[in-house]
Structure 1
């Protein structure tokens, strides 16, 4: 992907729209939409790294009610020609075609490598991007849960629940279960105990990446892994309102508003 002069690549994650209630999340949703409006003039691409919603599931004929402002703005930006890439998180594992069909937004269920080139300077940067859930040596409780959540038979059983019941049940569990929400460890544990840091270091043993960019931890982090590689966590849009911006040479974390 090429980055023309004066253009930038933007990253955000962990909005958890709808939590803890529709009324409580509405101001955060409006702020996120304002951010999308703010960056649309110079965005060459936007990466959303999961948990945009506190719960999302694509039924065959139904999607969860609400989030009209966010979905409408994403449709507007996509229609204007700005590519948007979505990585599912642990709260929206069940995306299955709606974003691709309605918004023209590709959805990734695993981390991906991207290469960004700054045309004017002739620079080349490699990124490894994902939500971050279930990676590294820890997070074992969630890893067990994820196997259940992504099991095709379990998803088939869940779809037999009426959406009114299924969505209400999922929203209740999503808000109440801190292990699922990722809020159980929402404090910096030190580099030696941060499992995503350990995961990045292990990946570097096999292949170099200039930047590892993840969400999920709800903490804005910018950690140097070695002299040529960094790990950044995007924080969230609940407490920090942080986002990443890459100008072709340097990746930074910034705060909106």
Structure 2
């Protein structure tokens, strides 16, 4: 199946290891593209809520797919978020085409782009981590209940309904928080001379021009793979929001190799990929020594 070639794909807030994660849909999306760069903008693995009792094979396939893309030439940048903050101690680490960092700055066709997750603006996380984690569990439970409701609605031939989106759009404080988040990110980007500022964290896909007395910038948010199933794509000098539920140009499916693998085979293949990289690095070092 022919894959779409794009310069950059950005995904965030996948929350692998939670009931809300749409892993199969994400694998289908990743299998449909061939990006030069893949930017994972935080909260890919939900370490806050990680449980050995719940980590389906489909979630492991996402990890396998990302490693496979890196092995096949895609530069993969893993930007840490609050739910995977444990990885921040590895910031600056690179293994082949896979890089772990807390933020990223790229020059795109003469313009500067600033990538970071966005939890730095969240006072509830910075000041009350326990409450924030409890909120995460509550959100996961809400998504699980919402899935059951949507299953019932689907059986009745009715449209899906998002409880959390209804809450976010109906509670003034939530709307104000999102607006403040976007404005703060845009103001900081303008102050530091960035033409683009690309975030995740708030699960609200968006592309908008922000302007103040000091200049302007384009604010972008990649959304999430829990409710919105969205990504950002950069190609032909422009950004677009990819919406899985609306933008499928053809019925993409996950790689057949990934679909047929069981849990043990997936783990084994990931280990083999790591060993292959280590062997290649060792050969390169030997050739330099000679």
Interval of TM-score (by shorter of Structure 1 and Structure 2): 0.5 to 0.7
Residue 102 of structure 1 deviates from its aligned partner by: 6.9
- 8 Å Cα contact 1:46/1:82 also seen in 2: yes
- Between structures 1 and 2, the one with greater helix share: 2
Residue 97 of structure 1 deviates from its aligned partner by: 4.8
Residue 217 of structure 1, aligned match among 202, 224, 235: 202
- The one-character-per-residue Cα deviations of 1:153-186 (angstroms, maximum 9, x if unpaired) are xxxxxxxxxxxxxxxxx8x8742378xxxx7984
Residue 199 of structure 1 deviates from its aligned partner by: 3.1
Residue 141 of structure 1, aligned match among 107, 115, 124: 124
- The one-character-per-residue Cα deviations of 1:129-155 (angstroms, maximum 9, x if unpaired) are 0111022xxx322112469x9xxxxxx
> TM-score with structure 2 length normalisation?
0.60
Q: Cα 1:198–1:173, aligned 2, differ >3 Å: closer, same or farther? A: closer
Is 1:39 the counterpart of 2:58? The answer is no
Gaps of 5+ in 2: 141-163, 246-290
Q: Cα 1:241–1:195, aligned 2, differ >3 Å: closer, same or farther? A: same
Q: Distance in 2 between matches of 1:16 and 1:222?
A: 22
Residue 180 of structure 2, aligned match among 194, 213, 228: 194
Residue 233 of structure 1, aligned match among 202, 221, 224: 221
- The one-character-per-residue Cα deviations of 1:182-203 (angstroms, maximum 9, x if unpaired) are x798447269942232232133
- The one-character-per-residue Cα deviations of 1:196-225 (angstroms, maximum 9, x if unpaired) are 322321331x32211110000111122211
Gaps of 5+ in 1: 1-5, 118-123, 150-169
Residue 104 of structure 1 deviates from its aligned partner by: 4.7
1:15 matched residue in structure 2: 14
1:127 matched residue in structure 2: 113
Q: Cα 1:77–1:134, aligned 2, differ >3 Å: closer, same or farther? A: same
TM alignment of 1:169-188, pairs within 5 A: 174-176=136-138, 186-187=168-169
- 8 Å Cα contact 2:49/2:137 also seen in 1: no
> TM-score with structure 1 length normalisation?
0.67
Considering only CA atoms, is the larger Rg found in Structure 1 or Structure 2?
A: 2
- Let me know the Cα RMSD of the aligned residues: 3.7
Give SS of 2:18's match: coil
Q: When the two structures are aligned, how many residues end up with a matched partner?
A: 206
1:3 matched residue in structure 2: none
- The one-character-per-residue Cα deviations of 1:215-244 (angstroms, maximum 9, x if unpaired) are 001111222113752101111111111110
Q: Cα 1:191–1:177, aligned 2, differ >3 Å: closer, same or farther? A: closer
